[in-house]
Amino acid sequence: MKRPIFARMYARVRPTLDQHGAAEHRRRLLAGAVGEVIEVGAGDGGNFAHYPAEVSQVLAVEPEPFLRAHAEQAAAKAPVRVKVVEGTADQLPAPDASVDVVVVSLVLCSVPDQRIALAEARRVLRPGGELRFYEHVAAEPGRRLATVQRALDATIWPLFVGGCHTHRDTATAISSAGFTIEELDAFEFPPDQKTPAGPHILGRAVRTG
């Protein structure tokens, strides 16, 4: 899945966002993770430096070639073992019930179908396994921003931002996919700017059943 313009833009912007607070979000996202991990849509590997030592290995799945090459470079410097592979959220390269944690980080906005992607995450998780999520999401109903998001999603935004959609109720999608959300923090990022992708959630959910 080649998106060369978006991939280069993301690789350039991501370190700046990390400096302005996103690195702390990534640290919080991964704090306390243990065992075997699949990271879905690993991008250029921005999360890798934040994995705790209790993680035994990370299978990092990334479909975009330019970002995957950068992720492989980041994997070589990671504090834990990271293997970067080609793949997509709707067909993860792992057996059923084989991992302890699935990480989704700024990726559920751009998958073609959240329901399918979350079903795959649930499939590869062991019973009681964790879904760690950090995503930008739909604004609260009634806000003018929600109207703007819907308009952008129906027109130009996905075309120019790698298939991204700003108006997705990701927390509800997670709960509907067979997860129990145990931690959820909602915030605006960047905090000093108003952007269509400003509303964010960060948290942890557990596979039920």
Using the structure block, give the residue that is written with the tokens 């280069």: 8
Contact status, residue 171 vs residue 182, Cβ threshold 8 Å: no
Give the pLDDT mean for 139-161.
95
Bigger pLDDT: 3 vs 164: 164
User: What is the average pLDDT score of the chain?
Assistant: 96
pLDDT at 1: 67
Average pLDDT over residues 137-141: 96
**Cα–Cα distance measured from residue 190 to residue 31, given in angstroms and rounded to the nearest whole number:** 21
Return the percent helix, strand and coil in the chain, to nearest 5. 35, 25, 35
Q: What is the pTM of this model?
A: 0.96
- Arithmetic mean of pLDDT, 125-139: 98
Region 16-32: mean pLDDT is 96
**Strands 199-207 vs 179-188: parallel, antiparallel or unpaired:** antiparallel
Question: What is the number of H-type helices and E-type strands within the chain?
Answer: 7, 7
Task: For residue 135, give the H/E element and its range.
Answer: strand 125-136
Residue 10 has pLDDT above 90, yes or no: no
**What is the arithmetic mean of pLDDT over 76-102?**
98
